[in-house]
Amino acid sequence: MANARALVNGGTHLQLPLPTEGELRKMAKDEHARMTGAGTGGTPAQPATKGPAAPPPATPPPAVAPSGARPLGAASAIYVHPVPADSEDVSLLYLDYWWYLPYNPAGSGSGAFCGPGLVIPGISCFDHVSDWEGVTVVLDRTRPGIEPRPVAVHYAQHSSVVRYEWPALEAAWREDDTARAILVETADEAPRPLVFVASGTHASYPLPCPDKPDCRQVVGGAEENEHDGELPWAGNTTLACGTASCLQMLPTSRGGRDPALWNAFEGAWGTRNCFMTYYCDSSSPPAAPGRQGRYQRPWEHDGTRRP
């Protein structure tokens, strides 16, 4: 299938030709090396002098790719769905961000409970093809003529969505060495949230945690895989986004009220191999963002925590 318009609801799933986990990790490291000049004796790519219309203030400028090479980040994007929520007293904007990952290798029980005939989805095995994850940034735009300000960030953490107030986040980032270094490296005119994605499970957290036995940031105190920030997304830095935007709108219709195209597909994003329906080799793949609760009700969360 070459075009999302060919998708038809009522089918079963998307069959996705995906790279392996090792290939993805090598791709990420290679992009980071090209982006920073690390290990090559070179320098980072320089900003383009010519290009499309100027982006909004504080948007990182594009990079010039080497001859014959794809621009950095050209095949990698974060998607956003803006949802306004106005009342008589306050005007809020929920910026619902989503990113796609080809696999969810959670590694529960070192993979011992994932395999044909052994899987109890969501209990014994959490591995599956595809993963849609992200965060929701809450902006207050109540005062006309005043720049909207962030008031909170909702981090998607497995089956929960956890709210962190913006002042508490800023204080925590200033106190953490890794977070503070990232803020300095990616500094520009706009406030931006930090998101540390857990290895394998891809849950989102506001602070790093390098050691799995001590990562207990999930609601309820459960353990989480490490999320140390050492393998950054290529779009983090000023020169990484290439000639295409690293941030794109999720496909919608009716002025953003309804999902559209692949975002409206009702089937699963991927497949699993099953025998006699109940004996499967992995857990169920996820639905498109437009079919998930955080997209449909971005204001809902499972409680506020301090980072």
How do the pLDDT tens digits run along the chain, 307 residues long?
556 666 666 666 666 666 666 776 777 677 667 666 665 455 444 433 333 344 444 444 444 444 455 544 456 789 999 999 998 889 999 999 998 887 766 554 444 445 444 444 444 455 657 778 899 999 999 988 888 999 999 999 887 899 999 999 999 999 999 998 888 777 666 788 999 988 777 789 999 988 766 777 666 666 777 788 887 777 776 555 655 578 889 989 988 889 988 888 777 776 655 544 554 545 567 788 988 899 999 999 999 988 8
- CA 118/CA 45 separation, integer angstroms: 48
- Nearest CA to 249 out of 131, 76, 133, 78 is that of 78
Return all residues near 183 (Cβ < 8 A) that are at least 6 apart: 173, 194
Residue 159 bridge partners (DSSP): none
pLDDT of residue 61: 44
pLDDT of residue 255: 86
pLDDT of residue 160: 87
- CA 214/CA 254 separation, integer angstroms: 46
- CA 179/CA 236 separation, integer angstroms: 13
Phi, psi of 183 (to 5 degrees): -65, -40
Question: Cβ(111)–Cβ(127) under 8 Å?
Answer: yes
Buried b or exposed e, range 279-292, using 16+ CB within 10 angstroms: ebbbbbbbbbbbbb
DSSP 108: G
Number of other CB atoms surrounding residue 35 within 10 Å:
21
Instruction: Please identify which residue in the block is written with the tokens 């008589």.
Output: 88
pLDDT of residue 196: 93
Instruction: Please identify which residue in the block is written with the tokens 């030709």.
Output: 17
- CA 127/CA 134 separation, integer angstroms: 18
- CA 240/CA 234 separation, integer angstroms: 6
Question: Cβ(31)–Cβ(75) under 8 Å?
Answer: no
| 3-class state of residue 171 by DSSP | helix
- CA 235/CA 292 separation, integer angstroms: 25
Farthest-apart Cα atoms in the chain, separation? 61
Question: Cβ(149)–Cβ(139) under 8 Å?
Answer: yes
pLDDT digit string, tens, across residues 268-284:
776 655 544 554 545 56
Q: Quote the strand ranges of the chain, DSSP E.
A: 78-86, 91-104, 128-133, 135-140, 149-157, 160-165, 196-197, 204-205, 247-249, 252-253, 258-259, 274-275, 279-280
Return the structure tokens found at 102: 């080809």
- CA 289/CA 158 separation, integer angstroms: 14
Number of other CB atoms surrounding residue 144 within 10 Å:
6
pLDDT of residue 44: 46
Q: Which amino acid is at 270?
A: G
